[in-house]
């Protein structure tokens, strides 16, 4: 298949550091697993280097109790049992040792997973302080969609905002969104602008000149948007939104305005320039949106 990410989800992985913040990810993954009748695998990566640093800072030898790795495994097993009972899903737990991004990427490949779900913040302040950062690192290492779960788990994403720059990648992201969340109200949003508008003004371009160029950009974007929506072949109507402005700011603002449950965004665009641009846009949306974000390779 040309785009493995469009496969029906049969296995999804939820990465957890067993902190309260990662519980959002685990619960959201469980609800999706139930909805898709998929197997859920909880993965905990134990960073022994982290614990060595902790021991060097604090008087850990005076602490009573079991070795941290055994405690982590026991807590993971308990969480697996509770999820199976509460949600009625097929779930199992696995542990690995090492750096989070590398171990998660390798594990997801071994499991042939179609989706990775992560939480926002972890407690590994020495390494991957923000698990969102781990999500981007995993995305660089694998062709696997990554869902950053920020909010309390929802059984259904009813409103989805899909960011598009009309690249092949953003088309795939939109296709995945329509395929995975067919009952949601889907809306494509594109931010358009006039290249070098500021310098054009310095060179003497009038306000009328700039407005004419903006209208030209809008017309081109509108045509591309219509072509992309037609390419989706969605069974339900897909909304479209063209807004003048910087892409990340537009996506974040429109997600707030529409109360979107989920933002879907591609990792990069088609050309080298697009890749740099949407790469920065993706990171800005990931860190600033305050909403669930699905990153699509």
- With H, G, I as helix, E, B as strand and everything else as coil, classify residue 55: helix
Q: How far apart are the first and last CA of the chain?
A: 15
Residue segments in the chain with a per-residue pLDDT below the cut of 70: 1-7, 47-68, 121-136, 139, 196-203, 205, 209, 268-279
* pLDDT for 297: 83
Output the pLDDT for position 57. 46
Q: What is the pLDDT of residue 62?
A: 52
Domain 4-149: assigned CATH number: 3.40.50.620
Cα four-point dihedral sign 154, 160, 164, 169: positive
Name residues whose C-beta falls within 8 Å of residue 214's C-beta, 6 or more positions apart in sequence: 192, 194, 244
Q: Give pLDDT, residue 50.
A: 53
The pLDDT value recorded for residue 249 is 93
pLDDT score, position 129? 41
67 phi and psi angles, rounded to 5 deg: -55, 135
Query: What dotted CATH number matches 159-296?
Result: 3.40.50.620
**pLDDT value of position 256:** 95
Residue 211 tokens read as: 């407005």
Which of 280, 38, 2, 50 lies closest to 165, judged by CA? 280
Model pLDDT, residue 251: 95
Q: Tell me: the pLDDT tens digits for 105-141? A: 999 999 999 999 998 765 443 334 444 566 667 767 7
Q: In what order do the strands lie in the sheet with 185-192?
A: 91-97, 39-46, 11-15, 115-119, 146-149, 292-296, 262-266, 159-163, 185-192, 238-244
Identify the pLDDT of residue 131: 47
Q: Name the residue among 15, 19, 23, 22 with its Cα closest to residue 40.
A: 15
Q: Could you state, in order of their start, the residue ranges of all structural domains in the chain?
A: 4-149, 159-296
In degrees and rounded to multiples of 5, residue 162 shows phi and psi of -110, 115
């Amino acid at each position: 298949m040309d785009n493995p990410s469009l496969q029906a989800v049969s296995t999804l992985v939820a990465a957890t550091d067993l902190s309260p913040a990662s519980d959002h990810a685990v619960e959201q993954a469980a609800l999706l697993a139930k909805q898709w009748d998929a197997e859920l695998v909880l993965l905990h990566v134990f960073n022994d280097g982290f614990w060595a640093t902790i021991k060097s800072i604090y008087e850990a030898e005076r602490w009573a109790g079991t070795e941290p790795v055994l405690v982590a495994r026991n807590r993971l097993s308990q969480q697996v049992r509770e999820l199976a009972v509460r949600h009625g899903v097929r779930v199992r737990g696995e542990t690995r040792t090492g750096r989070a991004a590398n171990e998660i990427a390798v594990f997801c490949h071994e499991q042939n997973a179609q989706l990775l779900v992560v939480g926002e913040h972890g407690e590994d302040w020495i390494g991957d302080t923000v698990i969102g950062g781990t999500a981007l690192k995993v995305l660089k290492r694998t062709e696997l969609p990554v869902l950053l779960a920020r909010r309390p788990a929802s059984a259904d994403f009813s409103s989805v905002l899909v960011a598009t720059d009309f690249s092949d990648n953003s088309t795939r992201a939109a296709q995945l969104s329509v395929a995975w969340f067919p009952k949601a109200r889907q809306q494509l949003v594109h931010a358009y602008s006039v290249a070098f508008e500021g310098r054009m003004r310095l060179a003497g371009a009038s306000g009328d000149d700039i407005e004419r160029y903006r209208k030209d950009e809008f017309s081109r974007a509108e045509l591309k948007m219509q072509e992309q929506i037609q390419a989706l072949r969605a069974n339900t109507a897909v909304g479209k939104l063209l807004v003048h402005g910087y892409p990340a700011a537009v996506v974040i603002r429109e997600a707030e305005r529409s109360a979107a449950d989920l933002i879907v965004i591609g990792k990069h665009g088609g050309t080298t320039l697009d890749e740099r641009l949407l790469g920065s846009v993706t990171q800005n949306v990931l860190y600033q949106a305050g909403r669930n974000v699905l990153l699509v390779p």
